């Protein structure tokens, strides 16, 4: 069955804004989606006095939804401070596009993750922010809001699929509740490991379906 896209998605896909590379970028990051294997790279030019994003560009190796989301979030991020731009969510991006089909929501997560990752690189490398010390249940919960349950296109925290999060000296344990014969169980666990595993200060991730 053909996937239905909004007019805005199609417009941004056919004529994406802010596509390309920034030479001498202040930060650049590539993120991959465990769900589909696609990638996005985001480049930032930042005024270091004001922490305002002066320019942002992206290259997408993903699908139409990813290109459209990359286009819209780079528009949203331009002119914002890094803190404001880091707060842009994939839900907001999808809403700006007039909605995305549930199976394509992860494409907007990928675009937002690329932007967020570039901002965090800037904050870590230029501003000296120590993300290791901010590892706690709250930051892991926030990260898990970027793990989607594909058939619904909503995140596993909102869907109350996460039952427990524990941390012991960088070893993270996540307990989820998903039917054991659900074909999305393994991909969801892989996504949790991928997302939590790349957080600063995490040494290992164990996911248990309870
Ligand atoms: Fe991979 Fe959309 S299917 S980014």
Tens digits of residue pLDDT in 70-105: 999 999 999 999 999 999 999 999 999 999 999 899
Q: What is the pLDDT of residue 132?
A: 73
Query: Given the CA of residue 110, which atom of ligand 1 is nearest to it?
Result: 4
Query: What distance lies between CA 178 and its chain's CA centroid?
Result: 22
CA of 125 to the centre of ligand 1 (A): 29
Query: Within a domain: residue 111?
Result: yes
- Same domain for 117 and 145? no
Residues 118 and 188 reside in one and the same domain: no
pLDDT reported for residue 2: 74
Query: For ligand 1, which residues put their CB under 6 angstroms from it?
Result: 33, 36, 38, 62-63, 65-66, 107, 110
> Nearest Cα to 78, choosing from 56, 95, 46?
56
Kindly give the residue spans of alpha helices, DSSP state H, lying in the chain. Answer: 7-14, 64-77, 82-86, 90-96, 105-125, 137-144, 185-197
Residue 63 is a catalytic residue: no
CA distance 189 to 191: 5
Q: Assess whether 200 and 146 both reside in one domain.
A: yes
- pLDDT of the residue at 37: 86
| Nearest atom of ligand 1 to the alpha carbon of 66 | 4
Residue ranges making up the domain that contains 60: 7-125
**Gap from CA of 1 to ligand 1 centroid (Å):** 17
Alpha-carbon dihedral sign for residues 112, 129, 194, 140: negative
Query: Which residues of the chain fall below pLDDT 70?
Result: 1
Predicted pLDDT of residue 53: 98
Q: What is the pLDDT of residue 193?
A: 95
Whether 28 is catalytic: no
Q: What is the pTM of this model?
A: 0.87
Q: What is the pLDDT of residue 17?
A: 98
Instruction: Please tell me whether residues 104 and 171 are part of one structural domain.
Output: no
């Amino acid at each position: 069955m053909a996937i239905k896209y909004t007019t805005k998605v199609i417009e941004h896909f056919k004529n994406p804004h802010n596509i390309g590379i920034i030479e001498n970028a202040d930060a650049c990051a590539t993120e991959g989606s465990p769900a589909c294997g696609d990638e996005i790279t985001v480049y930032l030019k930042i005024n270091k006095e004001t922490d305002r994003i002066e320019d942002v560009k992206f290259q997408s190796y993903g699908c139409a939804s990813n290109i459209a989301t990359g286009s819209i979030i780079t528009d949203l991020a331009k002119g914002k401070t890094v803190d404001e731009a880091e707060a842009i969510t994939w839900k907001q991006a999808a809403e700006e596009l007039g909605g995305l089909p549930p199976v394509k929501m992860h494409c907007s997560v990928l675009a937002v993750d690329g932007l967020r990752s570039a901002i965090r690189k800037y904050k870590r490398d230029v501003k000296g922010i120590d993300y290791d010390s901010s590892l706690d249940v709250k930051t892991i919960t926030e990260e898990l809001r970027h793990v989607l349950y594909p058939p619904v296109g909503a995140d596993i925290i909102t869907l109350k699929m996460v039952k427990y999060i524990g941390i012991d000296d960088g070893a993270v344990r996540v307990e989820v509740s998903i039917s054991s014969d659900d074909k999305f169980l393994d991909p969801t666990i892989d996504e949790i490991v991928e997302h939590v595993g790349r957080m600063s200060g995490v040494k290992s991730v164990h996911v248990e379906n309870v």
